[in-house]
Amino acid sequence: MSVPREDGFVHLADYTPPAWRVVHADLAFDLDPDATDVSARLELQPDPAQPGAPLVLDGEALTLLAISLDGQPLDASRYRHDGRQLHLHGVTDACVLETRVRIHPAGNTRLEGLYTSCDLLLTQCEPEGFRRITFFIDQPDVMPRWRIVLRAPRDAYPVLLANGNPVGTRALGGGRHEAIWENPHPTPAYLFAIAAGALERVTRTVTTMEGREVELNVWAEPADVPRCGYALGAVERSLRWDEQRFGRAYDLDVFNVVAAQYFTMGAMENKGLNIFNARYVLADQATATDADFMGIESVVAHEYLHNWSGNRVTLRDWFQLSLKEGLTVFRDSEFSADLHSRALKRIEAVRVLRGRQFAEDGGALAHPVRPDRYREISNFYTLTIYEKGAEVVRLLHTLLGEKVFRAGMDRYFADNDGRAATLEDFLAAHAGASGRDLAQFARWYSQAGTPELRITEAFDAAAGEYTLTVDQHLPPTPGQPDKQPLLIPLQLALYDASGAAINAPPACDAAVGEGRVELVARRHVLRWTGLAAKPLAAFNHGFAAPVKIVFDYAASDLARLAQLERDPFLRWDLLQQLATGALLRTLDPHAAAGALSDALADLLTDEAADPAFVAECLALPDFDTLAESVPVVDVDALIGAREALLDRLTEDQVEHLQARYEALADAAGDGLSGEAMGARALRNACLAWLTRLDPTAALAQAQFDGARGMTERLGALRCLVHFDAPGAEPALQAFRTAFADDPLVTDKWLGLVATRPHPETRDAIYALLRSPWWNPTNPNRVRAVLGAFARSNPLGFHRRDGGGYQLVAEQIAVLDAINPPVAARLLAAFEGWRRLAQPLRTRSREALAPLEGRLVSPDCRDLLQRLLAP
């Protein structure tokens, strides 16, 4: 159990095992949106190693109605409830504590604990929401087995779901009914869930590799059920994949997924009862884009795969969060790579890393994959915990290879099943399976910041000797001025003048594997001899290491390597480097733009090239990625340069773009095949470029009018709105009307309006905040409007007069009182404020500073302090 120190922080170093455990939890709910009564019967046992330790339970926003110990009502002198914890006096032995509390779901806008989502009653407990349901020892290393009874009026709540297996239902008097569930697996409270309401489902039964019959259900409100089929298929694919790739079987008789319109995050892996943001469940081609379908499949996989990485093996404490999240992101990305295109999945992940995670790692909120202290754990559901955490698991996979990695995973699951584990347990399993010492590798978990590899080359023509000197640079981050060198596997390839790969390994003082060197020191010198001419070097194939590479290429070298490389990820990356070099003028801009243009021409005219891959190559580095690559961010200059390069490339390629757009018209028709999706992706990319040269946006208008699904419709609408086409308003109007009843599609057009690249969008946002569409209690709506504006509209958010910051700061103060985790996520959009060029740096501080006196939630106060810390 970890208690905050005087400094207000919970420290990793302070961990001690729980003094008391709950071995069995029996709960009964009398459900009602206004006042739900929760009866809990907890079997408690003291830790024999900590005799006499006081019995303390967590409990917030609970009204205590009754309390008894071992069957005897407790006198008020025997306990104290201070609003956060329940202290029981003089209890030393194993006992049964019974409480009855009242809670108020309908007023719960924080959406943690038990809350209402439209007509449903739902729970969200991770990380510390269960204490808002009943008194409990609410920490992940307390793992009882559970029995859950739900009672409610049958007409409003015909379906009553909870964790585990259904035991039975029965009618009660007065139109009420009851359902009983049992979860036989030891499960922490953060994985507790119930869902009640007029739900309907799609269902199928499968048999696991162990021969268990499992009913898979996806539940939604009745009107949405026709859009649940794709998610159900994704559940089955996930179940099969975990059996085949990791040998992990599902372990209950039912697996339920529930779609909720009100949900703070993406989804939640509660044992046997996953609760999802509706946007990651509901899809058909008329209302969802291809990206939505792919997002649904990957989030379904993520939550399903948590059943082993997170639930069967859970966390000792919240510092270990990446043990489940990084590992599960690694697992879900392997799932997507195995089922679809590995290269495209990698490109997608690297875009997020470079654009967003590197920024987090280099900004005011930087923290290690395993933080060593926190004030508010809900502020640590970050890209560093999830995406960098997954990269660290991928590093291990690269170092060990698939076979040994799998043996390490088998060992991890076997040794820790039913336990609350740590990252040390994870590394110990892999060290045991591989025989490797992973002590240096473990620094990836404790040191924040994105490592940089500064590589210089030298060629001695007379001696035929080529050397690469590789320096590891680890930038300082908050609280970590000095760092130790990391173990970094550096993939590399050399090409000779004829373009043939040079296969000889270098001589060096580091371990050399197939096509890679394992860097362990601050500096390594790699040496090749017997070379007739200076070779061309390429680095970090597949982005095997989540690092920045600094190497002085000429534009012509990058272009040549992009032709020679067989690794599709690296081919894409080399073109990104050309574009970045042209934009930031680290390369001769004329030569770089010319080389990029030629490479794109080749791709656009290559009938054999995968259209989805070509679309990725057309997408130049975004604003975030560029901003991450410069020490001081001049927003207008970066965007101006990017727009100018796009204009120039479009002029060069207009005929190829048109030809490709037309040639793919049929292939882009119906269906969710990879081929159709790829064709739509490339056509939308071509359309966005072509619309630059077409003030009437006739092609975009035609695509909008004849759209065969949401991918085409939204792609066209984006062009119309973002390029201020004459048809933008009527098209928006038509779109709005056609989907007026659908909150998820409404979020889409709101997102387009919020990201229109113009400083005046700030005023459009003010108008939206006064419109009937605004709803600050729905996190999806907040993200669609304010999240999109702050995160994806640099021209609007970073207006020179600071008006974008003011708007977002004002709304953070409003949201702070409604849903603090949502407000805190918006506040994190300021993470890079210190690197902004003036006057924006001052303007952002002016927007943030007054929040000091206005924000009340611990979530927002913690973030604000970290943002403003000197």
Q: Residue numbers of the site for ligand 0A1 (CB under 6 A)?
A: 112, 124, 126, 264-269, 302-303, 325, 381, 821
Question: Which residue number, 302 or 718, has a Cβ lying nearer to ligand 0A1?
Answer: 302
Contact 213, 230 (CB under 8 A): no
Query: Which of the 8 DSSP states describes residue 189?
Result: G
Q: What is the rounded distance in angstroms from the CA atom of residue 711 to the CA atom of residue 680?
A: 7
Q: What is the rounded distance in angstroms from the CA atom of residue 408 to the CA atom of residue 330?
A: 15
3-state secondary structure of 104: coil
Minimum distance between the CB of residue 380 and ligand 0A1, rounded to whole angstroms?
A: 10
Minimum distance between the CB of residue 59 and Zn ion, rounded to whole angstroms?
A: 26
Question: Which residue number, 55 or 349, has a Cβ lying nearer to ligand 0A1?
Answer: 349
Minimum distance between the CB of residue 259 and Zn ion, rounded to whole angstroms?
A: 17
3-state secondary structure of 824: helix
Q: Which residues pair with 207 in a beta bridge?
A: 213
Other beta carbons within 10 angstroms of residue 442's beta carbon come to 19
Which among ligand 0A1, Zn ion, none contacts residue 703 (Cβ within 5 to 8 A by kind)?
none
Task: Return the residue nearest ligand 0A1 (CB atom).
Answer: 265
Q: Tell me which residue has tokens 């990698």.
A: 346
**Stretch 311-330 residues interacting with Zn ion (CB under 5 A):** 325, 328
Which helix (H) or strand (E) segment is 117 a member of? Answer: strand 113-117
Question: Which residue number, 157 or 380, has a Cβ lying nearer to Zn ion?
Answer: 380
Question: Which residue number, 239 or 688, has a Cβ lying nearer to ligand 0A1?
Answer: 239
Question: Which residue number, 126 or 290, has a Cβ lying nearer to ligand 0A1?
Answer: 126
607 a catalytic residue:
no
Q: What is the rounded distance in angstroms from the CA atom of residue 229 to the CA atom of residue 527?
A: 56
3-state secondary structure 528-572: ECCCCCCCEEEECHHHCCCCEEEECCCHHHHHHHHHHCCCHHHHH
Q: Please calculate the CA angle 669-671-674 and round it to the nearest 5 degrees.
A: 100
Question: Which residue number, 26 or 332, has a Cβ lying nearer to ligand 0A1?
Answer: 332
Question: Which residue number, 217 or 270, has a Cβ lying nearer to ligand 0A1?
Answer: 270
Active-site residue (options: 128, 297, 303, 334)? 303
Which distant-in-sequence residues (6+ apart) come within 8 Å of 437 by Cβ? Answer: 431
Q: Please calculate the CA angle 869-777-282 and round it to the nearest 5 degrees.
A: 110
Minimum distance between the CB of residue 305 and ligand 0A1, rounded to whole angstroms?
A: 10
Q: What is the rounded distance in angstroms from the CA atom of residue 709 to the CA atom of residue 288?
A: 8
Minimum distance between the CB of residue 328 and Zn ion, rounded to whole angstroms?
A: 5
Minimum distance between the CB of residue 105 and Zn ion, rounded to whole angstroms?
A: 24
Burial category of 586 from C-beta neighbours within 10 Å (exposed 0-12, middle 13-18, buried 19 and up):
middle
For 508-515, the CB contacts below 8 A with 24+ separation are 513/489, 515/491, 515/541
Phi and psi, residue 489, nearest 5°: -80, 115
Give the sign of the dihedral formed by CA 509, CA 512, CA 515, CA 516. negative
Minimum distance between the CB of residue 299 and ligand 0A1, rounded to whole angstroms?
A: 7
The catalytic residues are: 303
Residues that bind Zn ion (CB under 5 A): 325, 328
